[in-house]
Structure 1
């Protein structure tokens, strides 16, 4: 035997019927706070700001480039071994 029951109600009506709390006011406050924080931090994540921060990480002189490659090869091949030719 198979029984199908279809209930047509809104989410608010179902929440009230089951005795669940209405969390919409809390959700609205949280979303407003998230929006405020995102808008306050938006300048930090602009393309110009990200590019400036990435450029400070790039080596600025030939010695720094050589040092970066030396450290990279030492880490990948081990401190006492030579890279394969």
Structure 2
């Protein structure tokens, strides 16, 4: 027996279902800062230095999320085998 469930939702709705934060305001603020510094013509300006703190924490968060999902899938697989 096979079941198929199609769920139609927007990316924003999916983000809320997964409990992910809304980073739209942060993204807009970062873009505005980059634009201001580019327009000011700051000498030696490197946009990567502005984003480094966010990139470093974001990668760690993604790894934690992947570990969480892997742990859940492993547990599900073990429970499934125990039931058989």
TM-score after normalising by structure 2: 0.42
Q: Larger Cα Rg: Structure 1 or Structure 2?
A: 1
The structure with the greater share of residues assigned to helix is 2
Structure possessing the higher relative contact order (Cα contacts under 8 Å, 6 or more residues apart): 2
